[in-house]
Amino acid sequence: MKKRIIFLRSFDCCERIKNVLVMIMAAMVLVPTFGSQTAYAGIKAPESSLPSLADMLERANPSVVNIATRTTVVEQNRLLADPFFRQFFDLPESGRRYQRTQSAGSGVIVDSEKGLIVTNNHVIDRADEIMVGLSDGRTLVAKLIGKDPQVDLALLEVEANELQHLEFAEISKVRVGDYVVAIGNPFGLSQTVTSGIVSALGRSGLGIEGYEDFIQTDAPINPGNSGGALVDLSGRLIGINTAIYAPSGGNVGIGFAIPTNMVEAIVDQLLSKGEVNRGYLGIVVQAVSADLAKAFNIESDQGLIRGVIVVDVEPGSSGELAGFEPGDIILSINGKSIRRPADFESQTAITFLGDNVTVEIIRQQTEKNLTLQVISNTQESVPGLKLSGVLRGVLLKNFDSDEDGVSEGVLIEGIEDDSTAALQGLEKGDVIVAANRRLISDLASLRSTLQSLSGQILLRVYRNGRFGSLLIR
């Protein structure tokens, strides 16, 4: 009898456990989970309870296009390019081979009435033909309106009806942690969507572009996504996907997009001028250290030191005419807070010839506003010593050319024979295109790069149609 009681109790316990498990399974069926839904025994939750981005993407996808380019590449044997070699062996002048290459990327329609499309400059650089593929199957020939290699943006135009464009989001309201969606054509696969969050804002110093102010995201971005859209959950454009950090060659969840405030400013310039006439302010700044902040009585903002300090003002520049002095602390430019030299650079990137710029500064512990009118976008030759001690005896100048090989950088206009730089291989006529693996587009970007360096500089230079590297120390 005792055994029977024990058996019954065990049976009762099993029944209770079974009932609990049934209740748990029923709860799992009835409670919707994010991004997925499981059905058991015909039980189905209402479709309205399922989270989805489908409605937003139906509106946004037609604004993202596929871009295909064709480029003619000239290949020439180095020996055949040597006039002495050709003359010695009595060879004909021509030794060139022409090869057609193809590439693919993405673009974003930003004005449906005018047929304007934004993409990365590297997507269409040196292209002979640019074709745009729409989501409805149409293929259009695109016209290049203008480009800005320093920011890596290009503006295209197509003639077509019934286009859809993306509205620009207000970038000041974008926060770290916001959900975002990347739309593009990775690996030639049209209309591919990936999702993630905003990982960081104001990323710079990566050496990807001349001017950097990237939105970082973990939304997967792959080859072919370049020029595509990074949108918020309302389908508004917050950035143009540009690059990824891939030390292993694959996607590791670190992608970068150009923010819409920079995109909008560059588009306006290209549309009105056909080129970017970026202004030269003539102001050299550096970060404010904790000691300097204490000495100048600068308050911190959420633990971050405010402002950058002016260390030099070029004679006759826009900065000098506006009244800037060494020792001024720049707090903001046109209402945009400046906390580090990279912030100053990003504002310089969207400052153009003829602009009036309002700059908030601290001078002798008193806050005041200065109005700077950009009167020049060029700079005369600058002694290298003003940028770095290792460039003593070198005369530098902005380089800008449409010739093959290199289109921008810093030209070595003159160099003293007994200078350290000359003895270590730098020559007059060299064009500096990178310093310590960071791209150099002009004197401003070279100056900014050298500010954080000391002791030695690894330069990549262009000389007589070839690239090479020099270590100057």
> Contact at 8 Å (CB) between 25 and 31?
no
| Rounded CA separation 205/343 (Å) | 11
- Sign of the torsion formed by the C-alpha atoms of 401, 405, 408 and 414: negative
For residue 271, what are its two tokens?
Answer: 């549309």
| Rounded CA separation 99/81 (Å) | 17
| Rounded CA separation 2/20 (Å) | 27
Please indicate whether residue 401 is annotated as part of the active site: no
For residue 165, what are its two tokens?
Answer: 């464009």
Q: Nearest to residue 256, comparing CAs of 301, 291, 209, 294?
A: 209
| Rounded CA separation 448/441 (Å) | 11
**Catalytic-labelled residue, pool 63, 103, 106, 122:** 122
Q: Nearest to residue 379, comparing CAs of 320, 426, 427?
A: 320
> Contact at 8 Å (CB) between 124 and 147?
yes
| Rounded CA separation 221/233 (Å) | 17
Q: How far apart are the first and last CA of the chain?
A: 97
Q: Nearest to residue 399, comparing CAs of 425, 433, 376?
A: 433
Please indicate whether residue 165 is annotated as part of the active site: no
**Catalytic-labelled residue, pool 199, 204, 226, 419:** 226
> Contact at 8 Å (CB) between 129 and 70?
yes
**Catalytic-labelled residue, pool 148, 152, 430, 442:** 152
Please indicate whether residue 226 is annotated as part of the active site: yes
Place of tokens 């690059």: 243
Beta strands in 295-355 (DSSP E): 300-301, 304-305, 308-313, 329-333, 336-337
Q: Any alpha helices (H) in 274-330, and if so which ranges?
A: 290-295, 318-321
- Sign of the torsion formed by the C-alpha atoms of 141, 143, 149 and 150: negative
Classified as helix, coil or strand, 344 is helix
- Residue 407: DSSP 8-state: S
> Contact at 8 Å (CB) between 182 and 243?
no
Amino acid at 417: D
| Rounded CA separation 461/207 (Å) | 16
Active site positions, annotated: 122, 152, 226
